[in-house]
Structure 1
């Protein structure tokens, strides 16, 4: 059974995902638009919630993540065969097995083996690592610890539904500016970049290239350029002075959210901001 497009859900967890903001994003969407662009696709929570019936262009700089999207699009059944084997081999004492699979994943990354097996390992690790984080060290190797769970790594019906939807989606891999180069008047661009720091030392490595202060400034410049083209732009991030200064000329909505990653329960609430140019 293949689910309809209306039933598609994200196939991975993603730290910084936008599920909490979905009602606000939906409310603030332009009433009509042409093509849909998402240059920082991540787990795709917004894409799979909106299910735009337009031309859709998605992108991410995370090569391993984009490999998963492409394998689901073109080889969903073969991917699920790999995942089924990985799950079937999980022993009762799961921790050592997790770290063996993580080592295998990193070995393939070092060899640039972006294939079905890597995609299956990516999904398995995502479901069994701490909080769905994707974090790498300075060598670009995945280093998130085990989360002590024994959940199944995938939902077959949902993988098939995602694959069905992705048939009409253009999947790019690379820099966010390049992903938007063809955006034109009337197109909608949803920008969910890695978060700006809450303080000067809080940047986390999302890919080994990182997303630093100059990257945020470059993104703000692109936001202005897309606005001048007549594109509809929406951007989400932490509600910080830095972000407010970068986007001081645009409309803003501040929302209180729960933060699951902070180890201190007192600091698990924060503010995010949705910025639009319309």
Structure 2
């Protein structure tokens, strides 16, 4: 593993694992071969561990486009994001909504390019809690957070880009992302959360992540266990998740977390599970 402490997440991500890093590291296998993260999100665990051989994936095409642009076009990406910051109008909300409209226009045209990555990053720092949410048409609809902060720290992005050059970046289904995982490899699953209320599933991408997706993920976890892979999975501590993974010999640890997204401060404390097959 690298000791480059400057490498760090440069995107905010709802459900990110920064607050659980110590608990996750404590439960890591002592040794493993290749690293896989099929739901990369903001990449807190990846950037903390900095494994020598890593494969990351997400079904969110816009998110993966950002990682690829940072990896391949670092300086151009930094220049474009800084330009968006420098041109911000006096009316921050109006400017943000204009940027959001440009972003959604490009989504409709399937223009996954350097400009889209810059627009995504600007909105990530200026939308409510770094939340990525889309409507039924697949268009981004998160409101402005009233911030005028700069969107990136240049040196952090440069150092992170250097690390990303060693990483295999995929875009698609989580099952496909794990097809090459073999005995001794480590797979960290930070899938979209199962709902605390069983009747509601939030749309992370227009494809969503429904009950059947969680069941399919549990089946994959079992298959990878049989393959001899080390697997760790995190999610809400719900009856549904416990039913999927209990009675299989897996270690299920319950940990306390703060939920930053909930608008009601009294509901910001919660529990998650860390499930390991070793």
TM-score bracket for the superposition, by shorter chain length = over 0.9
Correspondence for 1:35: 34
CA deviations 1:163-191 (Å, max 9, x no partner) are: 10011100000000000000000000000
State the TM-score, normalizing by the size of structure 2: 0.97
Confirm whether residue 47 of structure 1 aligns to residue 46 of structure 2. yes
Tell me, in whole angstroms, the C-alpha distance in 1 between the residues paired with 2:82 and 2:266.
Answer: 39
CA distance in 1, matches of 2:55, 2:230: 15
Q: 224-233 vs 195-204, which deviates more?
A: 195-204
Superposed CA deviations along residues 84-143 of structure 1, whole A, max 9, x for unmatched, are 110110122211000000000000000000000000000000000000000000000000
- 1:261 is displaced (CA, Å) by 1.1
Aligned mates of 1:8, 1:151 — CA distance in 2: 21
Spell out, residue by residue over 1:217-271, the C-alpha distance to the aligned partner (whole angstroms, 9 max, x if none).
0000000000000000000000001100100021011111111111111111000
Once residues 152 and 6 of structure 1 are traced to their aligned partners in structure 2, the CA distance between those partners, rounded to angstroms, is 21
Listed one character per residue, the Cα deviations across residues 48-94 of structure 1 (whole Å, up to 9, x for unaligned) are 111112x1000000000000000000001011111111011012221
Partner Cα separation in structure 1 for residue 191 and residue 154 of structure 2: 29
1: CA distance, partners of 2:77 / 2:41 = 19
State how far apart, in whole Å, the 1-side matches of 2:256 and 2:200 are. Answer: 20
Structure 2 match to 1:259: 259
- Alignment partner for residue 236 of structure 1, among 225, 229, 234? 234
SS in 1 for 2:142: coil
> What displacement does 1:6 show?
2.2
Q: Give 5+ residue unaligned stretches, structure 2.
A: none
8 Å contact from structure 2 (residues 6, 160) kept in 1: no
TM-score of the pair, normalised by structure 1: 0.97
The match for 2:219 among 218, 221, 224 is 221
2:16 aligned residue: 17
CA distance in 2, matches of 1:245, 1:65: 31
Question: d(CA) in 1 for partners of 2:121 and 2:93?
Answer: 16
3-state DSSP of counterpart to 2:111 = coil
Judge conservation of contact 2:32–2:185 (CA < 8 Å) in 1.
Answer: yes
Cα pair 1:6 1:51 within 8 Å, conserved: no
Post-superposition, which runs of at least 4 consecutive aligned residues in structure 1 deviate over 6 A?
A: none
Q: Report the counterpart of residue 80 of structure 1 in structure 2.
A: 78
Equivalent position of 2:108 in the other structure: 110
In structure 2, what is the Cα distance between the partners aligned to 1:50 and 1:105? 32
Distance in 1 (CA, whole Å) between partners of 2:8 and 2:178 is 25
Aligned partners of 1:62 and 1:173 also within 8 Å: yes
Please provide the CA RMSD for this pair.
Answer: 1.0
Residues of 2 paired with 1:195 and 1:135: CA distance?
A: 14
Q: What does residue 163 of structure 1 align with?
A: 161
Aligned to 1:150: 148
Q: Matched residues in 1 for 2:87 and 2:225: separation?
A: 51
Instruction: Give the corresponding residue for 1:179.
Output: 177
- 1:38/1:59 contact within 8 Å kept: yes
Give the aligned length: 275
1:206 to 191, 204, 207: 204
